């Protein structure tokens, strides 16, 4: 489904600030894999997602998605194939537009858009159905500005919009990190629900080890721009936070002390 072969990315090459963010990274996702990604600050997690999304060009290596070589495909073309949710709830939705306008954009994504904004009765009914799944009461607020929603409501809406067109790959970069624990749990539950319902393939970066163990069928740990370990299936199910922490510590040493890794 997603295949990265020897992908490299160095920032500020040839300067004192040179940083090798990804070093010959190899990763192969099978269709339906829900992979949680952990690793310390600067390990290259966000860079990995950004490379897949085409935000930065590869310095070397190859990226394939669903059998297609997308290494040189520009970001806007890859966007049609991907769903993305970021840490910042402000990204991914248009705050000065109504909920229904945002949903119209997401529903019409990839289809021919007319210049007129007209949203039909049928469309409105469909948006309400889609919003009901979130159980946040947003179905009664179709003409509320998205900017007035709470961070959690907005993040849930972003998630809904990112998955409406069943993307080939869903990229989640600490998408619950800016939310309070209860709201974060709701958005995570919805994430899990959508991924399972549509059998999506997903990469979810998290600093929360417990979430990384609870969700998904596979877990990878990154360190210094590479995949340090990759555990799936039964072996992942049997992993404990303690065991994970131990592997993390032996890989990172003292770096963990300064890390914002959450254990609960
Ligand atoms: N646009 C950029 N320009 C320069 N350096 C960058 C850029 N993006 C990332 N880096 C560097 O690449 C390395 C990997 O960064 P990345 O953001 O991928 O880490 P991360 O694993 O997501 O960390 P965090 O847990 O803090 O989000 C870091 O050293 C970072 O400073
Ligand atoms: Mg990051």
**pLDDT tens for the chain, residues 1 to 264:** 999 999 999 999 999 999 999 999 999 999 999 999 999 999 999 999 999 999 999 999 999 999 999 999 999 999 999 999 999 999 999 999 999 999 999 998 777 666 566 889 999 999 999 999 999 999 999 999 999 999 999 999 999 999 999 999 999 999 999 999 999 999 999 999 999 999 999 999 999 999 999 999 999 999 999 999 999 999 999 999 999 888 877 776 655 545 555 444
Distance from Cα 62 to the centre of ligand 2, integer Å: 22
Question: Alpha carbon of 185 to those of 96, 181, 189, 222, 229: distances in Å?
Answer: 27, 6, 6, 24, 26
What is the pLDDT at residue 61?
97
Please, are residues 22 and 9 in contact by the beta-carbon 8 Å criterion? yes
CB-based pocket (< 6 A), ligand 1: 11-12, 19, 21, 39, 41-47
Task: Give nearest CA residue, ligand 1 atom 4.
Answer: 11
Distance from Cα 244 to the centre of ligand 1, integer Å: 23
Q: Taking ligand 2, which is a single-atom ion, which protein residues have CB atoms under 5 Å away?
A: 45-46
Distance from Cα 206 to the centre of ligand 2, integer Å: 9
Dihedral (Cα; 125, 127, 132, 133), 10-degree rounding:
130
User: What DSSP string runs through 188-242?
Assistant: HHHHHHHHHHTT--EEEE-SBHHHHHHSSSEEEEEETTEEEEEEEHHHHHT--HH
What is the pLDDT at residue 71?
97
For a pocket test of ligand 1, which of 43, 52, 173, 258 has the largest count of ligand atoms closer than 8 A to its C-beta? Answer: 43
Task: Give nearest CA residue, ligand 1 atom 31.
Answer: 42
């Amino acid at each position: 489904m997603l295949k990265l072969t020897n992908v490299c990315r160095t920032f500020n090459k040839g300067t004192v600030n040179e940083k090798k963010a990804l070093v010959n990274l190899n990763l192969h996702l099978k269709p339906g894999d829900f992979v949680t990604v952990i690793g310390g600050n600067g390990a290259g997690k966000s860079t990995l997602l950004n490379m897949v999304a085409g935000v930065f060009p590869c310095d070397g290596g190859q990226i394939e998605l669903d059998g297609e070589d997308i290494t040189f495909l520009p970001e806007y073309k890859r966007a049609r194939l991907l769903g993305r949710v970021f840490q910042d709830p402000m990204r991914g939705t248009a705050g000065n537009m109504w909920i229904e306008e945002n949903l119209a954009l997401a529903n019409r994504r990839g289809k021919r858009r007319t210049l007129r904004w007209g949203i039909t009765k049928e469309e409105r009914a469909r948006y309400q159905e889609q919003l009901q799944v979130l159980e946040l009461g947003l179905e009664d607020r179709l003409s509320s500005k998205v900017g007035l929603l709470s961070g959690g409501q907005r993040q849930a809406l972003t998630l809904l919009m990112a998955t409406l067109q069943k993307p080939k790959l869903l990229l989640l970069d600490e998408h619950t990190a800016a939310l309070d624990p209860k709201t974060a749990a709701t958005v995570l539950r919805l994430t899990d629900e959508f991924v399972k319902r549509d059998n999506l393939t997903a990469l979810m970066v998290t600093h929360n080890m417990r979430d990384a163990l609870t969700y998904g069928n596979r877990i990878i740990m990154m360190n210094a721009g590479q995949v340090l370990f990759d555990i799936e299936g039964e072996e992942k199910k049997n992993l404990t936070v303690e065991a994970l922490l131990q592997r993390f510590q032996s890989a990172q040493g003292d770096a963990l002390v300064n890390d914002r890794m959450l254990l609960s």
